[in-house]
Structures are given as C-alpha cells and as structure tokens.
C-alpha cells in the first residue's frame, strides 16, 4: 500500500481563539497565520467571518496575504453566514474553502434546534449547495457527530457529499468518544459512503480533549479511514481544548511501525517556534511538562536517565529535539548592536516589521540592552510580540517608581502620557502627562492601583503569569495577565521587562488600552 497524505487542518485562529481570554488582535492573527504557513499546514481555518467585522477583516486579510495553505471560513447553514464566509475567503481564489456546520445529534435536534431528521438533512444539503456558489471546496461538519445515531449520520454524510461537499468532518464536539469507539464510527462511515472509498470525498475529524483523548481519537480515526485531521497549536481551544497539532504530527512521524502508511507535509522544525508564538499571541502559556513543546519535554533529571543518555540518546529519547525546533539560539546581540544587526536577526527569525514598528522596537531593544549584558533571540521575540500585541495606545508609560519592603507600605508612583487627538496634534499642543500614586499589598498591586486612579478604570486581575524569557539573573521577564473591567469579559495584557513590576505595569496598560479601543 502506498503512503497516504494526512491533511493537517489548523483551527488555531478559529476554535483555538474561542478559548476564554485567548482573543487575538488583527496583527496577532496575521503573525500566527504567517507562522502556520511556514509550518506548512494544509488548511488554515482563519475565523468565523459573520460573527464580527474584525473576524471578517482578519479572514479576508489572511486569504489575501497568506499563500500556500487553503484558507477556510466557518459558517452555519444560514445564508448570511455563508455569504460572509464566501466574501471573506474570495481573495484566496481556488484555495478558498467554506466550512459549513449543522448539529445532528438527538440531544441537539430536540433541545437546541427543535427539528426532525428530515429537516436536518434538507438544511445541510441547502447549506452545502449555497456554499458551492462561492467556492468549489466545501466542507461540512455534522456538529456533535460522535453522539449522533450512526445510521442517521451516514445518511447525512451521503446527502452532503451528493450535494457537492468534498470534505465531511466528523466532530467529537464534546470530547465524548474513546479511541475504539471513534475508530469504529469512522470505519462505518468510510464503508457506508462510496465516495470516501474512491477518494472523491474525504473524511476529516475534529476531536475535543474533555477526557484527554483528542489525539488518541484522531489517530484511531486515521487508521480507520480519515484523511484530514483538525487540530490546533498547543491544543488550545474551547473548554479542555482540541487535538494538539504537534502531538498528532510527531506521533505519525515517530511511530512509522504503526503509521507506516501515512505522512504529513508539516515542517516539523517550525513546531517549537509555532508553539511559542501562539502561546504569546493567545496569552495561554504552555505547561512545562507538555509533550513535544514543553520546556521539560527533553529534560532528563534522573541520574539513571542522564547516564543512559550519555551512552546512547535513544535510551530515553524517542525523537531528536532538533527535529521539532529545539536547539541553541544564535549568538546574542548586545546594546552596542546596531539597527542593521537587529533587522537581520529578525529576518532570520522569520519576522518582517514595518518601518514604524522597527523604529519603536529599536528603542525598546536599546532600553533592554542597557539593563542586561546579552539580548537573546527569545528576548527579541518577546519584544516583537509585545509590539504586535499593542492596541492603539490611549495611555503609555512614561515613568514608574516603587517603594516596598517588609516594614514599608508598598507605594508606586506612575506617570502616564495620554495620546493626543488629531486636532491637538494639528494645534501643536503638548501631550497630556498625568502622575499619581497608589498603595497596595505589594509593588505590583500598588502600580496597578495607581494606573487605575489615572485612567479612571477599575480592573480586577483574574489571571497573572510571569516567566523568564531567556537565561541569566538579568533575564527578561514576560507578564501575561487577564483582566475583568467589570463587564465579565476577560481582556488580555502582555508586557516584558527585566523588572517584573515594570513588566506588570506594561501588561496592565496593554489590557487598559485594549479595553478602551474596544469601547471606542
């Protein structure tokens, strides 16, 4: 049997972004899309165009700029959804795909839709036919397929394939299935619909991780006849997330004895870089013991393990860390490095910035260079991602001073600059500078309260993470936080500095500016 290609359908920018607090800005989505193209995924599901103007614009921009992968837009089996998706993916030309979905399980039919089986089939066929008027490549998903009656599910699959769907995706929407069960379901569908066997249509799967079985279920589906797998970088997504792209791809590559008939076209050396970028853009940090991309994935602390590794790496390593993108960084830059050296290093890291962004980054690079001996690649990536993550700056940090100690009430003095309006700029007015102080339970709390006093916003910190970006005692600290400004919506904020109080203040200001730009 010849080797068969398994298509990798990445939904990081759609399902992954639906995770609470993981919302990305337009520029963050574009950077992730560029990296997914370098990773060489087959399909990028760029968003759900009908849900907002921002989603429509980002899907349209990705369809226009990103070359290589197919670009998909999600739509319910509703005319306005399908029209929005069609217009959004139009710039991708023949690479455009519309992904329509409709719930099919008994519980969804009775309690969510209130529709009989015949009506579900009619709506599914109509949705596919409408999507075909915009693109040739249409994918259909029977939502909650794993809890749908198998015989009815087979009828739905046959009907949408006859209507023109080239891909039928079988979602385990609530993470209900087990590998044996899900594999049997895929095999039944493979045998029930002739077009799946002839290759005229493809079975895809979309597994959620509620029971921690998303990757296992996806692999079982591949062996049973699926030829496309939907997944996300780092496994991010609603609730417990989706099948992790890196785990799925490396399982197929590392176990050719089990999966000898299957291959992907993923550039695995881009996996770690993709993981780090998505973590920073989404604000969802990767746990240290995460398979493949966690910091401990290739660490060996046990003396027995270390001894074995010294004698033969294969004793305790089943894959080469270099194959997934782990390895030494280039020689670090210093504060004496010039603009040209900085731009060249960014180019090697796969990043292209506008002149304005390069200028702003160079200023931050010099600030960091004055505070630490070496500026490593990870430091640069943190600075770049901080620049990309910026919302329109209503407020920017001018000055920060803190006083704290075991016998002292923590106090912070903050000076912020308020952005000028166009009229103020034209009139030549000086920027408005506001200074205030606050006290708190610690220096970070005090700084954030001082910012609240100036901006007249009161944010509640719901999540706070800090990590060392690079090595050494002078390492850059990156803070990622999620803030509730009173409406129940979590706003992400990111900031980096060698001083964790400054990094926290920058992250909080980033969240404040995002909040204000949303209101605006």
How many other C-beta atoms can be found within 10 angstroms of the C-beta atom of residue 30? 20
Which strand (E) or helix (H) includes residue 464? strand 460-468
Output the 3-class SS for 279-340.
HHHHCCCCCCCCCCCCCCCCCCCCHHHHHHHHHCHHHCCCCCHHHHCCCCCCCCECCCCCHH
**In the prediction, which pLDDT does 470 show?**
76
**In the prediction, which pLDDT does 309 show?**
44
Identify the segments of the chain with pLDDT beneath 70.
Answer: 1-2, 20-21, 300-316, 328-331, 519-520
- Token code pair at residue 216: 């296992």
**In the prediction, which pLDDT does 267 show?**
97
Return the domain boundaries, the chain: 4-282, 301-326, 339-388, 395-519
**In the prediction, which pLDDT does 306 show?**
44
Among 516, 483, 286, 502, residue whose Cα is nearest residue 395? 516
Q: Which CATH number fits domain 395-519: 3.20.20.30, 3.30.160.270, 3.30.450.20, 3.40.50.720?
A: 3.30.160.270
Among 243, 235, 231, residue whose Cα is nearest residue 285? 235
CATH fourth-level superfamily of 4-282: Aldolase class I (3.20.20.70)
Instruction: Give the integer Cα–Cα distance in Å for 206 and 81.
Output: 21
What lies within 8 Å, CB to CB, of 396 at 6+ separation is 416, 417, 419, 509
Angle, CA 47 vertex, CA 43 and CA 50 arms, to 5°: 135
Q: Of all residues in the chain, what percent are helix, strand and coil, respectively (each to 5)?
A: 45, 20, 30
Whole-angstrom CA distances from 366 to 135, 333, 505 are: 49, 11, 19
Instruction: Give the integer Cα–Cα distance in Å for 234 and 247.
Output: 9
**pTM, whole model, 2 decimals?**
0.84
Q: Please report where in the chains the tokens 């004496």 appear, as a residue.
A: 336
Do the first three CATH levels of 4-282 and 395-519 match, i.e. the same topology?
no
């Amino acid at each position: 049997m010849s080797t068969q290609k398994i298509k990798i359908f990445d939904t990081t920018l759609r399902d992954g972004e639906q995770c609470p607090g993981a919302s990305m800005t337009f520029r963050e989505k574009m950077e992730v899309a560029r990296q997914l193209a370098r990773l060489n995924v087959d399909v990028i599901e760029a968003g759900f165009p009908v849900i907002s103007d921002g989603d429509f614009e980002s899907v349209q921009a990705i369809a226009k700029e990103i070359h290589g992968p197919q670009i998909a837009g999600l739509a319910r089996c509703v005319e306005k959804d399908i029209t929005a998706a069609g217009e959004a993916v139009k710039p991708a030309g023949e690479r455009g795909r519309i992904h329509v979905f409709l719930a099919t399980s008994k519980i969804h039919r009775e309690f969510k839709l209130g529709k009989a089986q015949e009506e579900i089939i009619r709506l599914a066929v109509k949705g596919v036919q409408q999507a075909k008027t915009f693109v040739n490549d249409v994918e259909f998903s029977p939502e909650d397929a794993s809890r749908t009656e198998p015989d009815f599910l087979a009828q739905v699959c046959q009907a949408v394939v006859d209507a023109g769907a080239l891909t039928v995706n079988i979602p385990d929407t609530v993470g209900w299935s087990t590998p044996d069960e899900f594999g049997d379901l895929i095999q039944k569908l493979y045998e029930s619909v002739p077009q799946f066997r002839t290759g005229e249509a493809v079975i895809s799967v979309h597994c959620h991780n509620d029971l921690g079985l998303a990757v296992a279920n996806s692999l079982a589906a591949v062996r049973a006849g699926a030829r496309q797998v939907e997944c996300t970088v780092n496994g991010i997504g609603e609730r417990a997330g989706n099948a992790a792209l890196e785990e799925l791809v490396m399982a197929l590559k590392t176990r050719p004895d089990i999966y000898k008939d299957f291959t992907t076209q993923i550039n695995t050396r881009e996996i770690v870089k993709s993981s780090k970028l998505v973590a920073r853009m989404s604000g969802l940090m990767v746990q240290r013991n995460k398979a493949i991309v966690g910091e401990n994935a290739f660490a060996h602390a046990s003396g027995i393990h270390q001894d074995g590794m010294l004698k033969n790496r294969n004793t305790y390593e089943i894959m080469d860390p270099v194959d997934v993108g782990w390895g030494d960084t280039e020689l670090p830059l210093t504060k004496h490095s010039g603009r040209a050296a900085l731009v060249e290093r960014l180019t090697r890291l796969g990043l292209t910035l506008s002149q304005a962004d390069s200028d702003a980054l160079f200023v931050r690079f010099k600030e960091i260079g004055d505070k630490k001996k070496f500026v490593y690649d990870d430091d640069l990536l943190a600075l770049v991602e901080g620049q990309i993550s910026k919302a329109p700056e209503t407020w920017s940090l001018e000055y920060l001073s803190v006083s704290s100690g075991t016998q002292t009430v923590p106090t912070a003095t903050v000076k912020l600059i308020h952005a000028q309006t166009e009229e103020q700029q034209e009139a030549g007015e000086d920027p408005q500078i506001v200074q205030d102080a606050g006290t708190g339970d610690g220096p970070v709390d005090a700084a954030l309260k001082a910012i609240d006093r100036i901006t007249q916003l009161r944010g509640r910190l719901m999540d706070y993470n800090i990590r060392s970006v690079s090595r050494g005692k002078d390492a850059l600290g990156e803070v990622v936080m999620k803030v509730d400004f009173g409406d129940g919506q979590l706003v992400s904020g990111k900031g980096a500095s060698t001083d964790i109080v400054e990094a926290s203040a920058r992250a909080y200001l980033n969240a404040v500016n995002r909040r204000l730009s949303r209101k605006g």
